[in-house]
A and B are shown apart, each in its own frame.
Chain A
Amino acid sequence: MAQTERIPSRQTTAGKPTGSGPPGTVTDSRSSERSAGKPPSWWARARRDKILLLMALPGLALLLVFHYLPLLGNLIAFQEYLPFVPLGRSAWVGWDNFAVIFNGDAEFLNALKNTLLITLVQVIFVFPAPIALALLLNSLLSERIKRVVQSVLYLPHFLSWVIVIAIFQQILGGSGLINNFLREHGMGTIDFLGNPDGFIALLTSQVIWKDTGWGTILFLAALTQIDPGLYEAARVDGASRWRQLWHVTVPGIRGLIILLLILRLGDSLTVGFEQIILQQNLVGRPASEVLDTYVYNNGVLAGQWGVSAAVGLVKGLVAVVLVLGANKIAHIFGEAGVYKR
Chain B
Amino acid sequence: MTEISRISRRTLLGGSLAAAAVGLSGCSTVTRSTDIAALNKPVALPTYKRFDGPKPDLPRSHPLMPDCFYRFPEHPAKVTDGVPADGSDLSGSVPTSNPIPPTADRNLYWQELNRRIGSPLSLTITSATGSDFTNKFATSVAGDTLGDLFNVDGKFSYLPQFLEARAQDLTEYLSGDAILEYPFLANLSPDSWRGCVFAGGIRAVPIQRGVMSSTLLLARQDLLDQFGVELGSPGVDELNAVAKAVTDQKKNRWAFAVPPASALSAMLRLPNGWEVRDGRLVHGRELPEYKEMLAITAKMQADGLIHPDGVAKNNQKVWFSQGSAVMTQDTYSSIQSFYRRAVTPNFAIALPVVRDSAGEIGRFLLGSPNNSISAIRPSSPERTKMLLRVLNWMAAPFGTEEYLFRKFGLPGRHYTLKGTDPVLTKDGSSEVCLGEFPIQYLADGGYPVYFPGHPEAVDVAYNHLKTILPTAILQPTYGLYSSTDSTKGKVADKDFDSLTKEIQLGRSSLSDWDKAVANWRKSSGDAIRHEYEEAMAAQGRK
A23 adjacent to chain B (CB < 8 Å): no
Is the Cβ of A282 less than 8 Å from the Cβ of B312? yes
Is the Cβ of A302 less than 8 Å from the Cβ of B26? no
Q: Which of B338-346, B387-395, B423-431, B492-500 contacts A (4 or more CB under 8 A)?
A: B492-500
Is the Cβ of B505 less than 8 Å from the Cβ of A191? yes
Choose among B19, B23, B488 the residue that contacts A302 (Cβ–Cβ < 8 A).
Answer: B488
Chain B 338-358, CB within 8 Å of chain A: the 1/0 string? Answer: 000000000000000000000
B5 adjacent to chain A (CB < 8 Å): yes
Count of B residues near A, CB < 8 Å? 62
Choose among A183, A280, A302 the residue that contacts B249 (Cβ–Cβ < 8 A).
Answer: A183
B29 nearest CB across to chain A (Å): 4
CB neighbours of B22 from chain A (8 A): 86-88
Chain A 138-150, CB within 8 Å of chain B: the 1/0 string? Answer: 0000000000000
Is the Cβ of B502 less than 8 Å from the Cβ of A303? no
Is the Cβ of A87 less than 8 Å from the Cβ of B13? no
With A80-B32, A91-B30, A174-B312 already in contact, the answer to whether A300 and B5 are too (CB < 8 A) is: no
CB neighbours of A250 from chain B (8 A): none
CB neighbours of A173 from chain B (8 A): 308-309, 312-313
With A85-B165, A88-B23, A89-B26 already in contact, the answer to whether A301 and B309 are too (CB < 8 A) is: no
Is the Cβ of B16 less than 8 Å from the Cβ of A75? no
Is the Cβ of A92 less than 8 Å from the Cβ of B308? no
B507 adjacent to chain A (CB < 8 Å): yes
Minimum CB distance partner of A193 in chain B = B312
B327 nearest CB across to chain A (Å): 16
Is the Cβ of B501 less than 8 Å from the Cβ of A65? no
With A69-B13, A169-B309, A194-B505 already in contact, the answer to whether A91 and B29 are too (CB < 8 A) is: yes
CB neighbours of B25 from chain A (8 A): 88
A332 adjacent to chain B (CB < 8 Å): no
CA distance A324 to B198 in the complex (A): 51
20 contacts between A and B (CB under 8 A): A84-B158, A85-B30, A85-B165, A88-B24, A89-B28, A90-B26, A91-B31, A162-B130, A169-B309, A175-B308, A175-B324, A194-B505, A277-B131, A281-B497, A285-B494, A300-B134, A300-B135, A301-B157, A302-B157, A302-B491
- Contacting B at CB under 8 A, from A252-285, are 277, 280-285
CB neighbours of B12 from chain A (8 A): 65
Shortest Cβ-Cβ A-B pairs, 5 listed:
A303-B157, A88-B26, A174-B308, A88-B22, A284-B498
B405 nearest CB across to chain A (Å): 35
CA distance A92 to B23 in the complex (A): 10
A299 nearest CB across to chain B (Å): 9
With A194-B507, A302-B487 already in contact, the answer to whether A89 and B30 are too (CB < 8 A) is: yes
CB neighbours of A301 from chain B (8 A): 134, 155, 157, 490-491, 494
CB neighbours of A298 from chain B (8 A): 491
CA distance A297 to B494 in the complex (A): 9
CA distance A88 to B25 in the complex (A): 7
CB neighbours of B502 from chain A (8 A): 194, 284
A45 nearest CB across to chain B (Å): 29
Is the Cβ of B309 less than 8 Å from the Cβ of A284? no
Is the Cβ of B141 less than 8 Å from the Cβ of A83? yes
Q: How many residue-residue contacts, CB under 8 A, span A and B?
A: 145
A206 adjacent to chain B (CB < 8 Å): no
CB neighbours of B135 from chain A (8 A): 300
Dominant secondary structure of chain A at its interface with chain B:
helix
CA distance A56 to B106 in the complex (A): 38
CB neighbours of B13 from chain A (8 A): 65, 69
- Contacts beyond the supplied A173-B309, A301-B490: 8 A-B pairs with Cβ under 8 Å: A83-B162, A89-B28, A173-B308, A194-B505, A196-B507, A283-B498, A302-B157, A302-B491
A79 nearest CB across to chain B (Å): 8
Most chain B Cβ neighbours within 10 Å, of A73, A85, A284 = A85
Is the Cβ of B498 less than 8 Å from the Cβ of A281? yes
A166 nearest CB across to chain B (Å): 9
Is the Cβ of B20 less than 8 Å from the Cβ of A87? yes
B31 nearest CB across to chain A (Å): 5
Is the Cβ of B308 less than 8 Å from the Cβ of A84? no
CA distance A90 to B135 in the complex (A): 21
- Contacting A at CB under 8 A, from B349-377, are none
Minimum CB distance partner of A294 in chain B = B491
A82 adjacent to chain B (CB < 8 Å): yes
- Contacting B at CB under 8 A, from A125-183, are 162, 169, 173-176, 179-180, 183
A72 adjacent to chain B (CB < 8 Å): yes
B512 nearest CB across to chain A (Å): 10
CB neighbours of B486 from chain A (8 A): 303
Is the Cβ of A303 less than 8 Å from the Cβ of B501? no
With A65-B12, A285-B495 already in contact, the answer to whether A86 and B19 are too (CB < 8 A) is: yes
A304 adjacent to chain B (CB < 8 Å): yes
B312 nearest CB across to chain A (Å): 5
